[in-house]
């Protein structure tokens, strides 16, 4: 059964929608800068320059929620634009998040500690599940709502789960993706792991030191052919492959040979009925940590051998948006298919000595891009891959 993609939406530090994002990608304009707000002022982060109030106003959001939920609403609404709720189309929403409502809870908790103005009502936004329900409410979706929480592979896993539910006849149409807002919790946590780069991150570069965090949301709408005939939406691309595998190595580090990543890519190709040489572009996980980029490079070499397609990480543009990254990068993949785009891997100078690989360095368009492979690897050794193909 073909899984059609009939909508997409995203918001990140490089744009409030797909069109703005492409403009930034085209001119090599990163969204990462030194943080404007207190908790982030020491770090380079990919922050969205709108407050929660501004998000609600600008995007006409009717449902209250944490910043994670609000960002999710923006992206999901864009994706669902032009779709209608219908009795004949069983519609679900599956969202991946790691922050949930922590961005509100941590502010509230500080007020509690400082004994100022504390409102325990606000903790109701805390649960990851609540953010998904708020997004669903904003869109009027009630048939099925679920939440994945597998760190940086959450959105990719949400996409995978949605595809399965359609394939198995449990749903006809699903909005799938992920969202994560910036929070002190996450910033301090990654800082304690010592995997930040004080400078702009350098994916796949020999001198890379670590990642820059980002925030954002990315959602796509997938539906069966039967549903598409009813919704009358154009098929923009096809979700042809997906897979998840365990790295079984360490809680936060990837195995040196990228075992889990390799398995995940191979199985996704197998599901899509494709050979490695059919892939025209890889949107890598590419967080720019010493560990991930080496591990992922080895895995890519293990799958593609000598003939490695153009590949790049877009995280030097958006920052690492954690649970949202698989969703945002799925949108980039769809746009690559539709417009023949290849995205540049910013800040690259020298290949990793051990692998000698050079990523795509400039923005190109009108290329023949029929199949895109997108990787999302989460803590816990949770490795996911999705493949998006031309209709």
Residues annotated catalytic, as ranges: 152, 285, 320
Residue from 375, 2, 333 nearest 156 by CA: 375
Distance CA 37, CA 75 (A): 23
Taking the complex as a whole, the smallest distance from the CB of residue 161 to another protein amounts, in Å, to 7
Q: Which two tokens stand for residue 82?
A: 């032009």
Q: Rounding to the nearest 10 degrees, give the CA dihedral for residues 47, 52, 53, 58.
A: 60
Q: Which stretch binds another protein (CB under 8 A): 4-12, 25-33, 210-218, 242-250?
A: 242-250
Q: Which stretch binds another protein (CB under 8 A): 43-51, 70-78, 229-237, 240-248?
A: 240-248
Q: How many CB atoms lie within 10 A of CB 168?
A: 9
Closer to another protein by Cβ: residue 79 or 133? 133
Q: How many CB atoms lie within 10 A of CB 81?
A: 11
Taking the complex as a whole, the smallest distance from the CB of residue 14 to another protein amounts, in Å, to 26
Planar angle of CA 9, 131, 287, nearest 5 degrees: 60
Residues in contact with another protein, total (CB under 8 A)?
53
Residues 22-81 that bind another protein (CB under 8 A): none
> Do residues 97 and 160 touch, judged by C-beta distance below 8 A?
no
Asked if 109 touches another protein (CB under 8 A), the answer is yes
Closer to another protein by Cβ: residue 56 or 173? 173
Taking the complex as a whole, the smallest distance from the CB of residue 22 to another protein amounts, in Å, to 32
Residues 352-371 that bind another protein (CB under 8 A): none
Closer to another protein by Cβ: residue 146 or 301? 146
The β-bridge partners of 387 are 241, 373
Distance CA 152, CA 150 (A): 6
Asked if 102 touches another protein (CB under 8 A), the answer is yes
Closer to another protein by Cβ: residue 280 or 296? 296
Asked if 344 touches another protein (CB under 8 A), the answer is no
Asked if 164 touches another protein (CB under 8 A), the answer is yes
Closer to another protein by Cβ: residue 33 or 106? 106
- In the chain, what is the straight-line distance between the N-terminal and C-terminal CA atoms, in Å? 13
Asked if 256 touches another protein (CB under 8 A), the answer is no
Asked if 390 touches another protein (CB under 8 A), the answer is no
Taking the complex as a whole, the smallest distance from the CB of residue 23 to another protein amounts, in Å, to 34
Q: Which two tokens stand for residue 15?
A: 């744009």
Residues 181-200 that bind another protein (CB under 8 A): 184-185, 188-194
Closer to another protein by Cβ: residue 271 or 367? 271
Q: Which two tokens stand for residue 302?
A: 């293990």
Asked if 325 touches another protein (CB under 8 A), the answer is no
Distance CA 321, CA 344 (A): 18
Closer to another protein by Cβ: residue 31 or 381? 381
% helix / strand / coil in the chain, to the nearest 5?
40, 20, 40
Q: How many CB atoms lie within 10 A of CB 80?
A: 24
H or E segment at 27?
A: helix 18-27
Distances (CA, A) of 375 to 81, 192, 240, 256, 387: 27, 25, 14, 17, 9
Residues 6+ apart with CB under 8 A from 59: 73, 74, 77
Asked if 113 touches another protein (CB under 8 A), the answer is yes
Asked if 385 touches another protein (CB under 8 A), the answer is no
Taking the complex as a whole, the smallest distance from the CB of residue 85 to another protein amounts, in Å, to 22
Binding site for another protein (CB under 8 A): 98, 100, 102, 106, 109-110, 113, 127-129, 132, 146-151, 157, 161, 164-165, 167-168, 170, 184-185, 188-194, 243-253, 259-260, 263, 271, 378-382
């Amino acid at each position: 059964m073909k899984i059609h993609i009939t909508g997409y939406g995203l918001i990140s530090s490089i744009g409030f929608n797909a069109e703005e994002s492409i403009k930034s990608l085209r001119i090599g304009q990163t969204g990462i800068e030194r943080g404007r707000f207190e908790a982030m002022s020491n770090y380079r982060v990919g922050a969205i320059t709108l407050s929660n109030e501004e998000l609600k106003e600008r995007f006409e959001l009717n449902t209250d929620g944490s910043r994670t939920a609000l960002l999710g609403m923006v992206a999901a609404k864009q994706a669902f634009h032009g779709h209608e709720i219908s009795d004949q189309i069983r519609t679900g929403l599956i969202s991946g998040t790691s922050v949930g409502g922590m961005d509100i809870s941590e502010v509230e908790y500080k007020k509690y500690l400082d004994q100022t103005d504390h409102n325990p009502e606000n903790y109701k936004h805390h649960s990851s599940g609540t953010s998904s329900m708020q997004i669903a409410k904003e869109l009027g979706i009630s048939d099925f709502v679920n939440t994945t929480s597998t760190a940086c592979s959450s959105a990719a896993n949400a996409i995978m789960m949605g595809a399965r539910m359609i394939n198995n006849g449990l749903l006809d149409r699903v909005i799938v993706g992920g969202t994560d807002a910036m929070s002190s919790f996450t910033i301090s946590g990654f800082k304690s792991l010592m995997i930040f780069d004080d400078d702009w991150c350098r994916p796949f570069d020999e001198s890379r030191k670590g990642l820059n965090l980002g925030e954002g949301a990315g959602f796509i709408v997938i539906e069966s052919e039967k549903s598409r005939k009813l919704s009358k939406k154009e098929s923009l691309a096809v979700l042809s492959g997906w897979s998840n595998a365990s790295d079984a190595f360490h809680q936060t580090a990837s195995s040196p040979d990228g075992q889990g990543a390799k398995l995940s890519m191979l199985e996704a190709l197998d599901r899509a009925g494709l050979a490695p040489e059919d892939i025209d572009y890889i949107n890598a996980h590419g967080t720019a940590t010493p560990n991930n980029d080496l591990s992922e490079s080895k895995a890519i070499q293990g799958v593609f051998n000598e003939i490695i397609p153009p590949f790049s990480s877009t995280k030097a543009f958006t920052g690492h948006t954690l649970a949202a990254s698989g969703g945002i990068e799925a949108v980039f993949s769809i746009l690559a298919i539709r417009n023949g785009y290849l995205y540049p891997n910013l800040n690259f100078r020298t290949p990793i000595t051990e692998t000698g690989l050079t990523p795509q360095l400039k923005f190109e368009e009108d290329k023949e891009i029929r199949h895109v492979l997108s990787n999302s690897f989460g803590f816990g050794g949770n490795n996911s891959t999705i493949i998006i193909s031309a209709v």
